[in-house]
Amino acid sequence: MTVTLDELNRMSPADFTAVVGDTFELAPWVAEAAAARRPFVTVTALHEAMMGALRAASRERQLEFLRGHPDLAGKAARAGAMTDESGREQASAGLDSLGEEEFARFHRLNEAYRAKFGFPFMICVRRHTRDSILAQFERRLGNAAATEFASAVQEVFYITRLRIAAKVAGEGMPLVSGRLSTHVLDTHAGRPAVGVAIELFEFAGERAHLVAAAVTNADGRTDKPLIADRPLPIGRYELRFAVGNHFRSRGIDSGNPPFLDIVPLRFSVAEPEGHYHVPLLCTPWSYATYRGS
């Protein structure tokens, strides 16, 4: 599935375009232009060359490119009439399974956006939760045309950077992944808290849905990060730690019901490629958290 940067550097222009030509939606001309700039020393340089080709194109061609994208959560999404990559991307934020009301809301936003700007709303869905997509949609609808055109190109940058990183292996990979990790310290015992069940929820409006679950190991950490190897979707989250069970298993009486049982830590992610370490320091009667490193 993936190709190496070396292989890409040595391919014929036609083969090069065949392999990475779908990175920019329905716009193989971007890859064709980049083919002439080879060899690339890093995967990041390959991506920048493709973005350079897009930026160097005429405004007309750029608009045509933007117009080649499907609506977000639009009829194409429902009908499955999108490219595979667009389909997978929209599914990542649950845009393929909206209720009628949300579908209608997206429909109204799409209509208003196209009417104002003349192309569909571009957003790198994998970097956002559904809430964040809606917030961005409404905010950007208020932009001036030039500002919004730049925003759309910036989102193309994020979308295609992820596509290139998934398709090409080699030196100088672009940074496309964030990391969400935690750590539970039992400051009553002065030791890591072992065997604590942890759940990670993502908010969509007032509803929270489970996105990861783990149990702390001997060092009070989870064996792998709660989220890794992909962008952290911008949005609101809640970590829930079953500390009541932990202290009960240590034989500590902190009342009935215990003062602390499920401890929720609610926080937001604003940097999809950042590292969010959100630990819990806990006794049966107190706790603390912070954005750590």
**219 belongs to the binding site for a copy of itself (CB under 8 A):** yes
Token pair of 118, please?
């003349």
Q: Hunting for tokens 């990060």 — which residue is that?
A: 225
Token pair of 60, please?
């007309």
**220 belongs to the binding site for a copy of itself (CB under 8 A):** yes
Distances (CA, A) of 274 to 33, 234, 280, 292: 32, 11, 19, 12
Site string for a copy of itself, 100-139 (x = CB under 8 A): --------------------------------x-------
- Residue among 236, 235, 239, 238 nearest 216 (CA): 239
Region at 73 (left for phi over 0; alpha for psi -120 to 50; beta for the rest): left
Query: Which CB sits closer to a copy of itself, 64 or 261?
Result: 261
Region at 94 (left for phi over 0; alpha for psi -120 to 50; beta for the rest): left
**142 belongs to the binding site for a copy of itself (CB under 8 A):** no
**185 belongs to the binding site for a copy of itself (CB under 8 A):** yes
**264 belongs to the binding site for a copy of itself (CB under 8 A):** yes
Identify the helix (H) or strand (E) that includes residue 239: strand 235-242
**81 belongs to the binding site for a copy of itself (CB under 8 A):** no
**251 belongs to the binding site for a copy of itself (CB under 8 A):** no
Query: Which CB sits closer to a copy of itself, 78 or 221?
Result: 221
Q: Is residue 107 annotated as a catalytic residue, yes or no?
A: no
Residue 80 half-sphere exposure toward CB, CA atoms < 13 A: 0
Query: Which CB sits closer to a copy of itself, 191 or 224?
Result: 191
**188 belongs to the binding site for a copy of itself (CB under 8 A):** yes
CA distance 280 to 90: 33
Query: Which CB sits closer to a copy of itself, 150 or 189?
Result: 189
In the complex, which residues of this chain contact a copy of itself (CB under 8 A)? 132, 185, 187-192, 219-220, 234-236, 238, 254-264, 266-268, 270-271, 281, 283-293
Q: Which residues form the catalytic set?
A: 69
